Structure 1
């Protein structure tokens, strides 16, 4: 049997294969009004197509736990019950196709309030439904970005509560996997990294203090997330910075990722989704096929926490080799699934594996 198409069990949940869809923002929700953050027909069609295409686990885009936690005004949210109802329609359909629906719970922190990428991605103000972003320290993400409001300890506790409430709503919406977004320079990742966190209180300075928010959020989500269902955490394994980078403070490192992975496991996380970068806009990143897989492999080798690998994984044999060599437990595809919603079915044919195909599409097999 192909390793890529072996079922994978986490807690009591069986995911039918190891081809998983990474969260990818669609910037397609209403920005204001009663439908702000509500999933639309676009989101349904986008996620449903990957389910009919055989993807085992489908993670939604970064879904904001509060309005100011959106990356853009057009992002999905899960801070009210109207949003829950729209998401339930999507999760029901995904399950009907034999796939597993998952949700990424997120807060964008200092990288919030920006335009969609095809509109330039620059920060937007009130005239375009924007707001003042927040962060661990009053440090803008980049030139031309606003100085974020430095969160107080009371406000941090409020954000932890928002994650707990969002997880409770995610259960109501029918999701079977929850992922806490701690990667790509968004709020939790901002707290983790000394590049963006210059606090001197209990949330800054030492590794233990910088990791405090991540662990508090995980604890809050785990309080309300069903014991029988798995919880993921997405991490940027490195900021791709060193102390020798000109004009850059040293950032989060792979060593710290391994250390955090062990802590996350002890707090009820079942799998680490290992990405990298996103917190320093001018970091020098060497990309190539599977360039982030070594980070996942190291976590897997040095801890007992299962991992999923990401990053320019595009070919079936490449994905199969990552699993058979024990470098990861699953692969998450992003842009390749944008290009080809039926990638999983095509990969199964290439690898000689069985996969569910909707009856309506059997003529194409």
Structure 2
């Protein structure tokens, strides 16, 4: 059993993963969408190297990359990193450079590559497929709108196609793709991978999986694909290669009538723990139908759910019989916005590892900031690490006739979340463009929601200029489409 944390400095105490690798402290820079790769995907580039070199200067226990797609035809918003088609010295060279940068000069930071298959949440136009060609998913269930407003439904219809249900051959290919991703990560010097089993794009959730075969979302079938992937990866990577997964609390808040979501979630977590393949499990929440993971709201109902769930998970893992391999560590992400909350998450046994996402963008030097507080618990206060952006509507929308028009725009959760995401994408890009600076400059808070959306989509790196005419036309069309949809017009 993990001992209760008695003082704040234990945030910087080491802890060992089941595979035998030690993490120097409990602070984890979790995956954030960078939007820095070439349009329609590509390998890590100079922007990624410069971005992660910033985080690597500080004492993060583990640094997890943004999602690296295992399928070129299932991107998220177009500028995703992608696993190369073939594993050669040349194709993995950019990944080697990225892992080296993340490790830092003294090789203290653990480098983890997040692997993802976007499934039904792979967007139209920028998802890596021809327009209106459906993505693959467990079942032919499109991403739905949270509200019933006409504009909300229309936006979802345009952004997300009705997917095609995967065949057994498709499933086999997905397994092979994740295994290849792990091989690339290991060959590139990464310490491990994290499988993104979250945000509504996988087989676990009954709202996205209505299959009736052995890959259904029922009891023993729900984890079948994940089990195939984890066991297949373990067969081809070194014994001390870290394997983590990211589970989604929201997949369990929609459990069947009469079934407590905590029961189903804990059942899955305990099953995964007993496989002996997984080193850490990140607990998160939200998807494109309920996009809590993209908002700045610190205490949503789902967030409260996965704080509570992570605590229950630790208690449940204590009941497992002793085996040759310890249970996976629990990584909690979301809502850790102040020093006090970080301390309480450990002392109250809500988690063993602390995931910091947006805080790592607002304060890349967060570990150093917390170190200055030392053992003086009076310094571990409730003040936020850094100011959150103010993304309220522009003032002109409060005046007629703009206010009259805006009143007809429905409350679209995806749109509001997209504005929040855009602001952080722009802030991340700012980090990537600060070359050779040892000074941590604050994000540009003068950029509001409208400005963030424009800046996110108007950015044109070098790959656009070298493209052919038809390619540039498609880029322009896609950028305009997503900018308009992000604003809700």
Partner of 1:141: 143
Once superposed, what is the RMSD of the aligned Cα atoms?
2.8
Give the match's secondary structure for 1:171.
helix
Q: For residues 247-266 of structure 1, what are the structure 2 equivalents within 5 Å?
A: 253-266=261-274
Corresponding residue SS for 1:326 = coil
1:297 and 2:307 equivalent? no
Contact 1:68 1:113 in 2 (8 A): no
Residue-by-residue CA offset, 1:346-365 (whole Å, 9 max, x unaligned): 01112349xxxxxx969xxx
The alpha-carbon deviation at position 22 of structure 1 amounts to 0.8
Whole-angstrom CA distance in 2 between matches of 1:206 and 1:5? 41
Choose the corresponding residue for 1:95, options 103, 124, 134. 103
Contact 1:39 1:83 (8 Å CA) reproduced: no
Take 2:365 and 2:262, find their aligned partners in 1: how far apart are those partners? Answer: 33
Following superposition of structure 1 onto structure 2, how do residues 76-155 of structure 1 map, counting pairs within 5 Å? 76-80=81-85, 81=87, 82-97=90-105, 98-113=108-123, 126=130, 132-142=134-144, 143-144=156-157, 145-155=160-170
How far does residue 311 in structure 1 lie from its aligned partner after superposition?
0.6
Distance 1:114 1:85 in 2: 30
Alignment partner of 2:65 out of 60, 69, 75: 60
Q: Separation in 1 of the partners of 2:259 and 2:112?
A: 30
The answer to whether residue 361 in structure 2 is matched with residue 338 in structure 1 is yes
Partner of 1:207: 219
> Structure 1 residues 181, 212: CA separation in 2 closer, same or farther (over 3 Å shift)?
same
Is it true that 1:241 corresponds to 2:254 in the alignment? yes
Residue 284 (structure 2) aligns with:
275
Q: Counterpart of 1:119? A: none
- Superposition map of 1:318-337 within 5 A: 318-337=341-360
Is the CA contact 1:204–1:210 (under 8 Å) kept in the aligned structure 2?
yes
Q: Which SS does the other structure have where 2:66 is aligned?
A: strand
Query: How many residues are matched?
Result: 337
* Structure-2 separation of matches of 1:212 and 1:60: 26
Change (3 A) 1:313 1:18: same
| 2:169 match: secondary structure | helix
- Tell me, in whole angstroms, the C-alpha distance in 2 between the residues paired with 1:288 and 1:9: 30
Match of 2:431 in 1: none
Compute the TM-score of the two structures, normalised by the length of structure 1: 0.84
Q: Which moved more, 1:91-100 or 1:159-168?
A: 91-100
Q: Distance in 2 between matches of 1:105 and 1:125?
A: 19
Q: Is the 8 A contact 1:192 1:252 kept in 2?
A: no
Structure 2 gap segments, 5+ residues each: 1-6, 145-155, 318-326, 377-436, 440-489
Kept after mapping to 2: 8 A contact 1:194/1:252: no
Change beyond 3 A, Cα 1:115–1:12: farther
| Alignment counterpart, residue 11 of structure 2, candidates 4, 7, 12 | 4
Q: Which of 195, 198, 221 is the equivalent residue of 2:210?
A: 198
Change (3 A) 1:100 1:220: same
Shift of 1:76: 0.7
- Whether contact under 8 Å (1:59, 1:104) holds in the other structure is yes
Listed as ranges, the gaps of 5+ residues in structure 1 are 117-122, 245-249, 354-359
State the secondary structure of the residue aligned to 1:69.
coil
User: For each residue in 1:239-260, what CA deviation from the matched residue of structure 2 results, as whole angstroms up to 9, or x when unmatched?
Assistant: 333668xxxxx99933222111
The Cα offsets for residues 199-256 of structure 1, whole Å up to 9 and x where unpaired, read as 1111115221122111111112222222112211100023333668xxxxx9993322
Q: TM-score by structure 2 length?
A: 0.64
**Structure 1 SS opposite 2:340:** helix
Q: CA deviation at 1:317?
A: 2.6
| TM superposition outliers: structure 1 runs of 4+ over 6 Å | none
